[in-house]
């Protein structure tokens, strides 16, 4: 059984010192939901969704998804739910089968967004990491060494510029800075993924070279957000919140410096710490 947390070694910057520490990050793994149902005496199997999740409460996640998408009407329509054992070892626990009772036909026509809950791919973390590698046509270029003071100042700059957040308090923000900490682009959205897509779109529409640029996130750093940074060619991701385990693995593999818990005058470095100046 996959665990909901994973240990990682980090470099912490606090009070103008770098400290080597052990830390815990939340696990992130893909989960594929497969629905099995009877149609005129023939058993049909349909892949319903692939989503990134923390490995726990998989059954509840599946039931909630089927109910809120209107695919089933109540849990009495379900015969059994189980993790599929016939998958590669690295994907064990990442494929869940939901078998409907005989005569129950799922409402698939009325649910058009059930195919993929996210842009993630693969049924194991390894497959997801490799998929990003395949789609990255642009090499990460980041040869600058960044001052810790620059990193510490990013959050304040963002807070002073988030006009919509100031009025509503209900938005995520993504921003792109240069290596000196100058704000180049800022976008806000109710969805953190949308905010990143918007800011990357602006970066490229303005024909700004992504080399030596920093992506700043107002929330946590999950796999899909680091994936977007990799595909955009951004070599440093700084987040106010925590990274996930798969985000850390992806950052290590894709030559991205990943920083989390950037608050006040401290932050944690989860990958490629060599880009931070030792002041």
Topology at the third CATH level for domain 139-275: Cytidine Deaminase; domain 2 (3.40.140)
The answer on pLDDT for 138 being more than 60 is yes
Q: What is the pLDDT of residue 166?
A: 55
Tell me which range, 31-35, 40-44, 239-243, is most confidently predicted by mean pLDDT.
Answer: 239-243
What is the secondary structure of 69-104 as a DSSP string?
TTS-SSGGGEEEEEE-SSS-GGGTTSEEEEEEPTT-
Tell how strand 236-239 and strand 257-263 pair up. parallel
> Mean pLDDT, the chain, as a whole number?
86
Written as six digits, the tokens of 145 are: 């060494």
230's CB contacts (< 8 A; 6+ apart) are 132, 136, 140, 250, 254, 256
> Of the candidates 277, 227, 278, which has an alpha carbon nearest to the alpha carbon of residue 256?
227
Residues 48-76: what's their mean pLDDT?
Answer: 84
What CATH architecture is 29-131? Roll (3.10)
The answer on pLDDT for 147 being more than 90 is yes
Domain-by-domain residue ranges, the chain? 29-131, 139-275
Tell how strand 266-271 and strand 257-263 pair up. antiparallel
- Cα torsion for 142, 145, 147, 151, to the nearest 10°? 20
Q: What is the pLDDT of residue 110?
A: 45
Among 60-74, 114-128, 138-152, the least confident range: 114-128
Residues 1-12: what's their mean pLDDT?
Answer: 88
Among 60-74, 116-130, 220-234, 246-260, the least confident range: 116-130
Q: What angle do CA 29, 30, 33 make, to 5 degrees?
A: 140
Q: Which has more pLDDT, 277 or 86?
A: 277
> pLDDT tens digits, residue range 8-24?
999 999 989 999 999 99
> pLDDT tens digits, residue range 82-126?
999 988 888 889 999 999 998 888 887 544 444 444 444 566 777
> Of the candidates 269, 268, 220, which has an alpha carbon nearest to the alpha carbon of residue 240?
220
Residues 50-72: what's their mean pLDDT?
Answer: 84
Q: Which has more pLDDT, 108 or 63?
A: 63
- Let me know if 121 is a catalytic residue: yes
Among 84, 121, 136, 152, the active-site one is 121
Task: Look at residue 66 and give its three-state secondary structure.
Answer: helix
Written as six digits, the tokens of 124 are: 């194991």
Question: 211, 235 in Cβ contact below 8 A?
Answer: yes
Question: 44, 36 in Cβ contact below 8 A?
Answer: yes
Question: 127, 95 in Cβ contact below 8 A?
Answer: no
> pLDDT tens digits, residue range 195-228?
898 899 999 888 899 999 999 999 999 998 998 8
> Of the candidates 196, 193, 186, which has an alpha carbon nearest to the alpha carbon of residue 164?
186
């Amino acid at each position: 059984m996959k665990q909901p947390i994973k240990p990682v070694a980090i470099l912490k910057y606090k009070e103008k010192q770098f400290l080597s520490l052990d830390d815990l990050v939340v696990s992130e793994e893909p989960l594929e939901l497969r629905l099995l149902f009877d149609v005129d005496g023939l058993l049909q199997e349909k892949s319903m969704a692939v989503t990134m999740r923390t490995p726990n409460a998989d059954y509840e996640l599946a039931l909630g998804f089927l109910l809120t998408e209107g695919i089933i009407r109540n849990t009495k329509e379900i015969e059994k739910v189980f993790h599929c054992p016939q998958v590669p070892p690295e994907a064990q626990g990442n494929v869940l089968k939901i078998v409907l009772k005989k005569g129950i036909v799922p409402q698939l026509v009325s649910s058009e967004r059930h195919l993929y809950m996210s842009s993630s791919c693969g049924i194991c973390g390894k497959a997801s990491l490799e998929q990003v590698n395949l789609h990255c046509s642009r090499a990460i270029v980041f040869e600058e060494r960044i001052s810790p003071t620059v990193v510490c100042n990013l959050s304040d700059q963002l807070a002073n510029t988030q006009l919509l957040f100031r009025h509503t308090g209900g938005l995520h923000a993504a921003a792109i800075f240069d290596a000196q900490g100058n704000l180049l682009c800022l976008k806000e959205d109710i969805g953190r993924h949308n905010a990143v897509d918007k800011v990357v779109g602006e970066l490229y529409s303005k024909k700004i070279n992504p080399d030596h640029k920093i992506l700043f996130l107002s929330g946590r750093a999950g796999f899909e957000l680091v994936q977007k940074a990799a595909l955009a060619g951004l070599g440093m991701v700084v987040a106010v919140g925590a990274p996930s385990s798969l985000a850390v693995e992806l950052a290590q593999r894709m030559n991205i410096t990943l920083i989390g818990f950037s608050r006040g005058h401290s932050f944690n470095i989860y990958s490629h710490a060599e880009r931070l100046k030792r002041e």
